[in-house]
Homo-oligomer: A and B are copies of this chain.
Amino acid sequence: MSSSETKPMLRVLRGETLARPPFWLMRQAGRYLPEYRELRAEAGGFLDLCFNPKLACEVTLQPLRRYGMDAAILFSDILIVPYGLGQKVAFQQGEGPVLEPIRATEELGRISLEGFHKRVEAVYETVERIQASLPPETALIGFAGSPWTVATYMVEGGGSKEYVAVKKWAYGDPEGFQKLIDLLVDSTIEYLDRQVLAGAEILQLFDSWAGVLPEPAFRRWVIAPTQRIVAALKQKHPTVPIIGFPKGAGALYRAYVGEAGIDAVSLDTAMPIDWAVEHLQSKMPVQGNLDPIFLVAGGAMLEAEIDRICDGFSGGPHIFNLGHGVTQTTPPENVDILARRLRA
């Protein structure tokens, strides 16, 4: 058996049910780790860190040294794609991202695929470096944001509460908005193709704001673009599994799993296990879904919740993960409790 066939992540993603689920944590590299904060202080801005292959590789590996996760995920950000397309993107300390918003078809001239790879090529070098440094049992996950979610930042100019600007465009001028989505589909295919060529063994598509759309818009802006990205990548790399994460999609998770073409699905915190087992895990491997705030609270409830999730999904292929990213105030020792419990 080649080493890739023994990697627990890949075994589960091919449909095997393992007695102990492999695990990794969304945002497992980051500010809750003192060694990250130290390195971050040296690196300059957040984008400088993302585009520094040596440091980004180091940051990616930090949590693995402490906790031995079954997967590393490229340290990067979903806003690298708009940056690569030429949109102005800045990360201000404690403020979240700020982009120069694009709000109408006429403004699409400000961005293009030309020069994309050149602007983001440091990311591909980071992937190569991580792949060269990984323990043999550990899989490397590449990722991108899904077009809808990335579009929300590009149009709103940052995070949003009500998504007024992006929905106003999508609902009021769907043909114009489709052009932005098309560009994001094309660039995401290019970007993830290169990540695979550089050494990513698994891909994840993050659609963090999939849950704010009514069904027709969900089908058009979440499912359809995902289908196109997955189909194109499957043609180029038929054996690389793709995990989709339509956070907050509720009962629409079922349509997403049935139609998007993905190989596995990541579940948010609110997803009930019984329903997920019946409608989702019966179709494909599932990943999730511990509320990250249990890792802040610690104690008996953390262990009970880990057991509840492992038991609930034990009848089929399952990757243990969170339902949302690790939060900044997480005590690192609680992640250790999690890792030990999953290995016990």
Residues of A with Cβ closer than 8 Å to B?
A: 162-164, 167-168, 171-172, 174, 211-218, 248-253, 255, 269-273, 275-276, 289-294, 296-299, 301-302, 305, 308, 323-324, 327, 329
| Contacts A172-B299, A174-B301, A250-B248 given; does A270 touch B212 at CB 8 Å | yes
A252 to B213, CA, bound (A): 18
Residue on B with the closest CB to A330?
Answer: B164
Identify which of B162, B164, B172, B289 contacts A298 (C-beta below 8 A): B172
Chain B neighbourhood of A299, CB < 8 A: 171-172
A-B contact pairs, 8 of them (CB 8 A): A162-B324, A163-B293, A168-B293, A214-B323, A248-B250, A250-B270, A252-B270, A252-B272
B272 touches A248 (CB 8 A): no
Identify which of B174, B248, B293 contacts A171 (C-beta below 8 A): B293
- Closest Cβ of chain B to A148, distance in Å, is 13
- Closest Cβ of chain B to A101, distance in Å, is 15
Chain B neighbourhood of A270, CB < 8 A: 211-214, 218, 248-250, 252
Report the copy number of this chain in the oligomer: 2
The A interface is mostly helix, strand or loop, or mixed, namely helix
Identify which of B214, B269, B276, B289 contacts A269 (C-beta below 8 A): B214
Chain B neighbourhood of A271, CB < 8 A: 250-251
Identify which of B252, B290, B327 contacts A162 (C-beta below 8 A): B327
5 closest cross-chain pairs (CB), A and B: A250-B250, A172-B297, A167-B293, A171-B297, A251-B275
Chain B neighbourhood of A298, CB < 8 A: 172
B269 touches A251 (CB 8 A): no
A213 to B269, CA, bound (A): 7
A238 to B72, CA, bound (A): 57
Identify which of B214, B253, B289, B327 contacts A291 (C-beta below 8 A): B214
| Contacts A250-B251, A296-B164 given; does A269 touch B212 at CB 8 Å | yes
Chain B neighbourhood of A296, CB < 8 A: 164, 167-168
Chain B neighbourhood of A255, CB < 8 A: 272
A162 to B163, CA, bound (A): 18
Chain B neighbourhood of A324, CB < 8 A: 162
Residue on B with the closest CB to A96?
Answer: B161
With A167-B296, A168-B297 given, name 17 new contacts (CB 8 A): A162-B292, A162-B324, A163-B293, A171-B293, A171-B302, A171-B305, A172-B298, A211-B250, A211-B270, A213-B270, A213-B291, A214-B305, A216-B308, A249-B270, A250-B250, A250-B253, A251-B271
| Contacts A214-B323, A272-B215 given; does A293 touch B164 at CB 8 Å | yes
